[in-house]
Chains A and B, each alone.
Chain A
Amino acid sequence: MAIVETSVMIKLALFTLAMFSLPILTYFLTVDRFFDGNASYAAGLAAVVANIVLFSYIIVAALEDPIPEEKPKEE
């Protein structure tokens, strides 16, 4: 029996990927297209995206229903 459910593992893996890739991708994709080379705005947006990932993780974790524990059978 798995100690941690598969759905939890998938959520963790997705958030890990999002945390690694989204901020730096946001920086490199927006620095030339949206901000005309002004790197500070692109870096600020990358920080905002990182915080969005963080807060969505907190919300997903807070809304997760706790798994009901198996009650030990009493004699």
Chain B
Amino acid sequence: MDPTVYCPTWAPFFGFAGVFAAMAFSSLGAAYGTARSGIGIAGIGPFRPELVMKSLIPVVMSGIIAVYGLVVAVLIIGQMSPSSGYSLYTGFVSLAAGLSVGMGGLAAGYAVGVVGDYCVRAYAQENRIFVIMVLILIFAEVLGLYGLIVALILNTKSDNTICE
């Protein structure tokens, strides 16, 4: 197992790409979720301002999606260092982890946004929608959670001992 083959100097590129994917795509999902549900909240604001705390639940959930991406990004960054060896295998693992949490967060953020928009508008007219809204939002949120779980499991498989 030749370290120069399995631990090339350009291996950290994939690790940093994983960091980028984790943060950027989950932020995209969270931004869409926040913006889209914000449209709905602004729609009901003039008519039912007392519902503001319950209406902000989709926005809070979008924030959680961005937190998932942040956590994975910090996790991957913690393994990178200029002096110790970094194997190409670990680079690919980090890229996969970043992409899984990023794309999962993108999907979850999109779902939370659309559901939040329409459900908040419906909640302003009918109070009993609240439990249904929270349930649908939780199901949309766990898409991002699954991406996070896969990213965490992948991260436990990273291994740089081949570079010694």
Contact = CB atoms under 8 A, between A and B. Distances in A.
Contact of B67 (A8, A50, A66, A67): A50
Given A40-B152, A47-B145, A24 B71 contact: yes
Binding site secondary structure of chain A: helix
B54 A61 contact: yes
B129 interface: no
Contact of B49 (A3, A27, A61, A62): A3
Contacts, number: 78
Interface of A: 3-4, 8, 11-12, 15, 19, 23-24, 27, 31, 39-40, 43-44, 46-47, 50-51, 53-54, 57-58, 60-62, 64, 66-67, 69
Contacts of A24: 67, 70-71, 74
Contacts of B57: 57-58, 61
Interface residues of B, number: 30
Contact of A12 (B51, B56, B156): B56
B50 A43 contact: no
B39 interface: no
B75 A54 contact: no
B123 to A, nearest CB: 11
B5 interface: no
Please provide the 10 A-B residue pairs with the shortest distance between their CB atoms, ordered closest to farther: A67-B50, A61-B53, A61-B54, A50-B67, A43-B75, A3-B49, A40-B156, A43-B71, A40-B152, A46-B71
Contact of A39 (B56, B61, B145, B155): B155
Nearest to B127: A66
Interface string B125-141: 00000100010000001
A33 to B, nearest CB: 15
Given A50-B64, A50-B68, A62 B54 contact: yes
